[in-house]
């Protein structure tokens, strides 16, 4: 998947939405003006009667245009600000969603949490909150939020109960595509747009209720000369006209929904196949919607204005059928896996699914008899491999610049198997999965990572702030970390980060402050502290603080030659044998895009403080510039045809730091 192209497409879709919105407002203003002129002329408030000349009322046009634009924009702005404040959580709760809490969910709901966590780890994005629409038997889902760190995913109870794990994974992958492609913010803006247009209809209803007492007087009601009667009639007709225009506006709104939404659904379907490498998953889910009695219907009354946000359309009114926000199910299935349109194949797959479920139940029963742990799988083992797993046989094909760069913005999990992590002590792996204990694990990991000799101890100031129990916990972590190589420190930290992101905001703020002090004590010269800052603290702080996006000021390398030289040299100097040749390899990969020359900087002349400043400057670069930088860095790292631990840490740190993360899944560790 082309992450940068997808971002550009999302921006162009936003422009398209704004143009359609402006067009609908212009149409409404002109229709409202013409209708008002006719009503005032009919009731005697306009005396000009010479054909088209009655429509030449510039003062009236300005008043109507200003009032109409103010009402629509105010309605849109109020709704958008409301959604921006509460984000995806507001949408989920409005639709009747119940938040899933890790550790308190049932076995079926835990499966959903595991799938969402898998996609988040693989794509390098924060784990979104998950809501279940308990009262919805149909098969549907949605993603909502203005930013990736504020996203939520909602799934209907019908989807959880009726879909297999592969099918549910396909649906979740589809929603992650909307998160990664920047569709969510546009979806929420569209809800605001529709609310603004709907305000015309609402005001029309209010005007009619106001007009009835005035129009109830018998005198002057039907003529053109009675003062109060004519006024009541005019108000009533204007109210009726507003309702009609509001209805027409809703037609325009449905057209906007359909125009912007359809192609994005095809894109999300294809991205889901890339994410999961399994077209049968999402195709099977679509097939089940097609044949299920509840389909994808959403009963909640607000579903109509949010129809464009769902995995498949959630309503089935006349207008929805005329201006459908989703392509027909048959077209979507045909684009993904045409064989599912064959009834015999679909039936065969259904029977296979039944057999798999039966076998799973039998295996679970057998495991229970052997005294298996009731807790279930260890996610570190599930994700990174047990003893019978190894890195992919075609690892040399995985370690190609094009493959790694293509993973940006995707959820490819194909290189997640990592045998280095298989021997974690149980208390470490369990702590990494616990929102309450993962923070302590990360703190100990930061302390251990800052001591390459494997003799790390708790700093005195830090130990004085702990209880006896907390001190023992940290010492236990340090003992485990001091005995192991550092090649798995970052993968473990990335796993624990997922759990910390689910902890309370106060807890996360405290951890960030604690880690920043620990890093200050390293004087900013320790490499693992730098890695920890960029790959762990940066995404956590982004989740905590709703800061505006960096303004783009660099559209070419012309203003970033110094920063590019710093970053490329820093990564090249990680090579222990041929740093200059590695630097040349990276330089050659982007030479044609540069408007000047780069300089190789020796390691001793390129401190981490310069690297930090260069990363901050690259945050202000356009996405194609970031892409070319990452291209150069990947070519540099892979010059010797191997991905070292240091190389992996450099790529993860810089990519996170410039807000264009390479997913952990794309960078197998353990070399």
Residues annotated as part of the active site: 175
- 58 Cβ contact partners less than 8 Å away, ≥ 6 residues apart: none
- Report how far residue 311's alpha carbon sits from residue 160's, in angstroms, rounded to the nearest whole number: 14
Instruction: Classify residue 222 by its DSSP letter.
Output: S
134: helix, coil or strand?
A: coil
SS3 sequence of 421-476 = HHHCCHHHHHHHCCCCCHHHHHHHHHHHHCCCCCCCCCCHHHHHCCCHHHHHHHHH
Q: Where are the alpha helices (DSSP H) in 43-57?
A: none
Count Cβ atoms below 10 Å from residue 505 Cβ, excluding itself: 9
- Nearest CA-CA partner of 670 in 650, 642, 651: 642
User: CB neighbours of 114 closer than 8 A, spacing ≥ 6?
Assistant: 379
Phi-psi domain of 87 (left: phi exceeds 0; alpha: psi -120 through 50; beta: other): left
| Contact yes or no for 21/193 (Cβ under 8 A) | yes
651's tokens: 């790529």
Contacts of 324 (CB under 8 A, 6+ apart): 258, 262, 313
The CA angle 9-12-14, to the nearest 5 degrees, is 110
Neighbours of 381 (CB within 10 A): 15
Distance of alpha carbon 24 from its chain centroid, rounded? 29
Half-sphere exposure of 262 (CA within 13 A, CB side): 13
**104 burial type by CB count under 10 A (0-12 exposed, 13-18 middle, 19+ buried):** exposed
CA distance 293 to 392: 42
* Buried b / exposed e along 453-492 (16+ C-beta atoms within 10 A): eeebebeeebeeeeeeeeeebbebbbebbbebebbbbbbb
Which pairing describes strands 129-133 and 97-99: parallel, antiparallel, or unpaired?
antiparallel
Is the CB of residue 387 less than 8 Å from the CB of residue 353? no
Among 450, 455, 448, 499, smallest CA distance to 477 is for 448
SS3 621: strand
- Helix (H) and strand (E) counts for the chain? 27, 4
Quote the CA–CA distance of 283 and 263 in Å, as a whole number: 17
Q: Tokens 């703020």 correspond to what residue? A: 509
Tokens of 311: 């995995």
CB neighbours (10 Å) of residue 276?
26
Q: How far is CA 427 from each of CA 75, 451, 474, rounded to the nearest angstrom?
A: 53, 22, 12
Reading the block at residue 67, the tokens are 């009032």
Quote the crossing angle between the two packed helices 183-215 and 3-42, to the nearest 10°: 10
CA atoms within 13 A on the CB side of 103: 8
């Amino acid at each position: 998947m082309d992450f940068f192209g997808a971002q550009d497409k999302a921006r162009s879709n936003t422009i398209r939405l704004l143009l359609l919105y402006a067009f609908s407002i212009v149409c409404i203003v002109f229709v409202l003006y013409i209708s008002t002129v006719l009503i005032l002329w009919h009731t005697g408030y306009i005396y000009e009667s010479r054909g088209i000349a009655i429509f030449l009322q510039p003062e009236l046009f300005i008043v109507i245009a200003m009032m109409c634009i103010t009402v629509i924009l105010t309605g849109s702005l109020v709704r958008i600000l409301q959604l921006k404040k509460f984000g995806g959580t507001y949408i989920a709760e409005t639709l009747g969603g119940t938040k899933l809490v890790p550790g308190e969910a049932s076995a079926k709901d835990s499966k959903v949490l595991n799938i969402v966590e898998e996609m988040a780890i693989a794509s390098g994005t924060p784990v979104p909150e998950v809501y279940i629409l308990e009262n919805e038997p149909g098969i549907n889902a949605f993603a909502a939020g203005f930013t990736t760190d504020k996203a939520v995913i909602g799934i209907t109870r019908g989807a959880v109960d009726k879909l297999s794990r592969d099918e549910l994974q396909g649906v979740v992958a589809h929603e992650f595509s909307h998160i990664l492609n920047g569709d969510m913010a546009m979806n929420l803006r569209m809800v605001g747009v529709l609310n603004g247009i709907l305000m015309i209809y609402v005001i029309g209803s209010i005007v009619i209720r106001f007009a009835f007492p005035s129009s109830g007087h018998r005198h002057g009601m039907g003529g053109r000369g009675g003062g109060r009667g004519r006024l009541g009639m005019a108000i009533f007709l204007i109210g009726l006209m507003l309702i009609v225009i509001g209805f027409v506006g809703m037609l325009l709104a449905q057209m906007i929904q359909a125009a912007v939404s359809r192609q994005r659904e095809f894109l999300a379907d294809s991205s889901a196949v890339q994410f999961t490498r399994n077209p049968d998953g999402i195709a099977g889910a679509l097939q089940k919607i097609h044949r299920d009695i509840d389909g994808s219907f959403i009963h909640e009354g607000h579903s109509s204005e949010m129809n464009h946000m769902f995995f498949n359309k959630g309503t089935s009114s006349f207008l929805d059928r005329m201006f459908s926000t989703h392509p027909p199910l048959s077209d979507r299935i045909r684009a993904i896996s045409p064989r599912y349109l064959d009834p015999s194949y679909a039936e065969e797959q259904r029977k296979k699914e039944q057999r798999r479920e039966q076998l799973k139940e039998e295996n679970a029963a057998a495991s229970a008899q052997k005294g298996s742990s009731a807790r279930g799988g260890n996610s570190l083992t599930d994700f990174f491999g047990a003893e019978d797993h190894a890195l992919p046989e075609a690892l040399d094909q995985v370690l190609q610049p094009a493959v790694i760069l293509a993973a940006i913005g995707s959820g490819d999990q194909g290189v997640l198997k990592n045998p280095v992590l298989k021997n974690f002590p149980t208390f470490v792996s369990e702590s990494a999965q616990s929102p309450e204990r993962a923070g302590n694990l990360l703190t100990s990991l930061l302390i251990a990572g800052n001591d390459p000799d494997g003799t790390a101890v708790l700093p005195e100031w830090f130990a004085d702030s702990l209880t006896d129990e907390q001190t023992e916990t940290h010492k236990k972590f340090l003992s485990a970390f001091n005995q192991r190589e550092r090649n798995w420190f970052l993968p473990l930290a990335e796993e624990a980060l997922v759990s910390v992101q689910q902890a309370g905001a106060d807890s996360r703020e405290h951890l960030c402050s604690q880690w920043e002090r620990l890093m200050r004590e390293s004087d900013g010269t320790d490499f693992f502290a730098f890695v920890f800052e960029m790959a762990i603290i940066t995404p956590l702080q982004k989740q905590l603080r709703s800061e505006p996006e960096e303004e783009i000021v660099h559209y070419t390398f012309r203003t970033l030659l110094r920063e590019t030289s710093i970053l490329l040299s820093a990564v090249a100097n990680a090579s222990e044998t041929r740093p200059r040749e590695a630097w040349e390899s990276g330089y050659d990969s982007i030479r044609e895009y540069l408007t000047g020359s780069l300089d190789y900087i020796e390691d001793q002349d390129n401190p981490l403080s310069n690297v930090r400043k260069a990363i901050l400057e690259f945050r202000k670069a356009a996405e194609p510039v970031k892409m070319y930088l990452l291209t150069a860095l990947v070519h540099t790292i892979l010059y010797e045809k191997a991905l070292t631990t240091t190389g992996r840490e450099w790529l993860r740190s810089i990519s996170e730091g410039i807000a264009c993360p390479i997913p952990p899944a794309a960078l197998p560790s353990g070399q």
